[in-house]
Amino acid sequence: MEGKDQEEVAEWGVTSTPTLPSVMGTGVVIVCTATGALQIMTMGAVHLHHDNIQDLEVGDPPLGFLKNLEDSCDRLSCSSCSCFCANLLLCKGPFEYVKGSKNPCWHSAAGRLSCVPYFYLAGVSKSGTSDIFQRISHHPDVIVSHKEHHWFDRHRYYSRNLDDNSSFEWYLERFRNVTQAIQRDLLTSSFSKKITGDGSPSYFYDSLQWQRYPGNENCTEPRMLLPHHIRHLYHEARIILSFRHPVSRLYSRFLYDHRKDNSSETFHSWVVDGLAKYLQCFRRWSLRHCAYNRSLAQTVQLRINENLYPVLMEDWLRVFPRQQLLLIRFEDYCRNMSHVLSRIFTFLDLAPLNDTEMTKIASTEKIKNKGTGYKSAGLMLAKTAHILQEFYQPFIRRFARLVGDDSYLWTDVTISHQ
């Protein structure tokens, strides 16, 4: 960075954003064999690079990946599934899914039917996900219990109550209602078209427990992430992601999370402090390392890492084929809800609804999922908006190129400020 950009970054306490050396790595998936041993499956060599955030161009290699893979990551500390504590998800299955059910379901050895989600509204929080999930659930072929289960990112690591919500069986029970409905269909006909979903909007960015995932032993960056676990459970899972302009999303997140200390001045102070710490991280490590750095995320007051869209999206695209991910813009959803819902229903291969049915779904009351700080804090300060746009702009450009859609440049969006 030079000139004005250099001066602005210096004000945050960081004098430069360096370009770190290139490395080379191999994508891997770790699975458990029938005997319980771990098997490393190569996904192909990838040339990798630690990028300067101000210099992201078309054709850039991934934003840092698998640092020192050959030196440390390949030396697993365990050789058996039994030594891992993340609820042994990679040791589950493969399941023989019932051919007569559109939703992934299988029978246990005892004949009990179990089902897992057909789709995931995996992100991004504060981008209309509660409202979107509610309207999806109004389709007659969709059955949901409640929106957010948070099993993949949170509950399976902590058991805080008598329900033992860390277990895989607990997660399966969350879908007992759709399982029973599908079972009734199968008893009366040869096919069930009912589906269910998990609307946990933090799945997109919250792999901060990655050091506890089997296959990440001795790694400075994760090679196994939350999307690997979702795809292990069901290879054909459909992933829906709603994205919002990173700057407005960060402020919305701040106002929602903080019932106190919610003034625009406090937000500005936290932005300056948080960006300085992330830029310092970028000086030493790859963008990817910093995006998944749990200690760093807990050190700052704001969820800055959640908006590093291209870094996170590249990892999802390494795991899922592009046709299994549907990207929508929160701003487009607000402007033309019916059109976006039609896209979602088509993506989920749901029966099309007539105009009357679509109008009814789109006209139901919107979910007002806002924090109490909106009225008291007011708009963010102009200087805060400027700093944030300077910080996130390289990521925005890279994201638009990554997904091949210039609408994700958000040139039609104006960030409101004082």
Contacts of 200 (CB under 8 A, 6+ apart): 120, 121, 122, 147, 148, 149, 150, 151, 152, 153
Q: Say if 58 falls within a structural domain.
A: no
The CA-CA-CA angle for residues 207, 213, 217, to 5°, reads 115
Report the chain's mean pLDDT, rounded to a whole number.
Answer: 80
Separation of alpha carbons 94 and 83, rounded Å: 20
Q: Say if 65 falls within a structural domain.
A: no
Beta-bridge partners for 417: 380
Residue 243 or residue 373, greater confidence = 243
pLDDT above 70: residue 129: yes
Helix extents (H) in 147-260: 168-173, 176-188, 226-233, 246-257
pLDDT at position 370: 59
pLDDT at position 59: 37
pLDDT at position 134: 94
Residue 291 or residue 170, greater confidence = 291
Number of separate domains in the chain: 1
**Best CA proximity match to 343, nearest among 182, 185, 132:** 132
Q: Say if 256 falls within a structural domain.
A: yes
Q: Say if 128 falls within a structural domain.
A: yes
Interval 195-233: pLDDT, tens: 999 999 999 999 998 988 888 888 889 988 999 999 999
| pTM reported for the whole predicted model | 0.83
**Best CA proximity match to 41, nearest among 232, 325, 190:** 232
Output the domain CATH number for residue 402: 3.40.50.300
pLDDT at position 377: 85
**Best CA proximity match to 138, nearest among 324, 338, 323, 326:** 338
Separation of alpha carbons 277 and 290, rounded Å: 10
Interval 172-186: pLDDT, tens: 999 999 999 999 999
Residue 79 or residue 258, greater confidence = 258
pLDDT at position 159: 57
Separation of alpha carbons 285 and 282, rounded Å: 5
pLDDT at position 97: 95
Q: Flag the least confident range among 17-31, 92-106, 282-296.
A: 17-31
pLDDT at position 28: 39
The DSSP secondary structure of 280-331, one letter per residue, reads: HHHHHS-HHHHHT-HHHHHHSSS-GGGG-HHHHHHHHHHHS-GGGEEEEEHH
pLDDT at position 372: 57
Amino acid at 98: V
Mean pLDDT calculated for residue range 302-331: 97
Q: Say if 283 falls within a structural domain.
A: yes
What is the DSSP code (8-state) at residue 195? B
Interval 398-410: pLDDT, tens: 999 999 999 999 9
pLDDT at position 215: 82
Mean pLDDT calculated for residue range 109-122: 95
**Best CA proximity match to 221, nearest among 312, 345, 111:** 312
pLDDT above 50: residue 52: no
Q: Say if 216 falls within a structural domain.
A: yes
Full strand arrangement of the beta sheet holding 325-329:
197-198, 119-123, 238-243, 325-329
Q: Give the range of the structural domain holding residue 295, as residue numbers without chain letter.
A: 105-409
Q: Are strands 325-329 and 119-123 parallel, antiparallel or unpaired?
A: unpaired
Mean pLDDT calculated for residue range 330-335: 96
Instruction: Give me the percent of the chain exceeding a pLDDT of 90.
Output: 61
Interval 14-40: pLDDT, tens: 333 322 222 223 333 444 444 444 443
Q: Say if 356 falls within a structural domain.
A: yes
Q: Say if 98 falls within a structural domain.
A: no
pLDDT at position 163: 55
